[in-house]
Amino acid sequence: MTYSNLQIFIVELVGTFILVMFATGSIVYDVKIGGPYGVWFAAVAPFIALIIGVYSFGKISLAHFNPAVTIGYYITGHISKTQIIWYFTAEIIGAILGSMFVMNFIGKEADLGANAPNYNYSILLIFPVEVLASALLMAVIFTVVYTKGLRGFSGIAIGGIVGLDIFFLSFISGASMNPARALAPALLSGILENLWLYWSAPFVGTMIVAFLFRKKFEIQRKHEL
């Protein structure tokens, strides 16, 4: 079944809203109550959000919820150039609405959950780590799309790699992997100095993987004709 750009826009907006609400809201809530949960809580929250999003909306939009993932899907030929605008607009609006929800109903602590790298490390390490986190996410997404088509354990796999990236890599780069998720709390909190990292490294990571997978999807499409 083919879905319209408007349908895709709506589910991408809702899915990104859920993701940002869970991902940033968990950080804000944890800091607000004194920080008893720590990084595992920040890792589990987006894992749950992506399970909800992938299984609810994957058949309609492929469940991007992330501009860097959208670019990856464009490179592999899953979406058109025009659709990038629909996806990007939905993802950014959804992310901002998610941060507005957090600000009004959970709290304003921790800069609304804005990503921040650990500058105790060199940027020569921080940037590649963020690229790696984003590349791992894109690789898992493409693997499940290529083999299962977002069925079976796909939602758990995609949510799982995000959770693992956050758990093991956020102490270095912040492990955003998602320019929209990084943008919304940064804009609303006024903490903008780290946006350059999260609007560059995730795209680099997903694009590298997309070019590696592009041939596989081209062959798959030829076999389906």
What domains are there in the chain, each with its CATH number?
A: 5-224 (1.20.1080.10)
Looking at residue 220, its pLDDT comes to 82
pLDDT at 219 over 90: no
Q: What is the pLDDT of residues 71-128, one digit of tens each?
A: 999 999 999 999 999 999 999 999 999 999 999 999 999 999 999 999 999 999 999 9
Looking at residue 225, its pLDDT comes to 66
Tell me the two tokens of residue 63.
């469940």
Asked if 16 and 180 touch (Cβ cutoff 8 Å), the reply is yes
Written as one string, the DSSP assignment of 191-211 is: --TTHHHHTTHHHHHHHHHHH
Q: Checking phi first, is residue 116 left (phi over 0); if not, alpha (psi -120 to 50) or beta?
A: beta
Contacts of 105 (CB under 8 A, 6+ apart): none
pLDDT at 4 over 80: yes
**pTM for the full model?**
0.96
Q: What is the pLDDT of residues 29-86, one digit of tens each?
A: 999 999 999 999 999 999 999 999 999 999 999 999 999 999 999 999 999 999 999 9
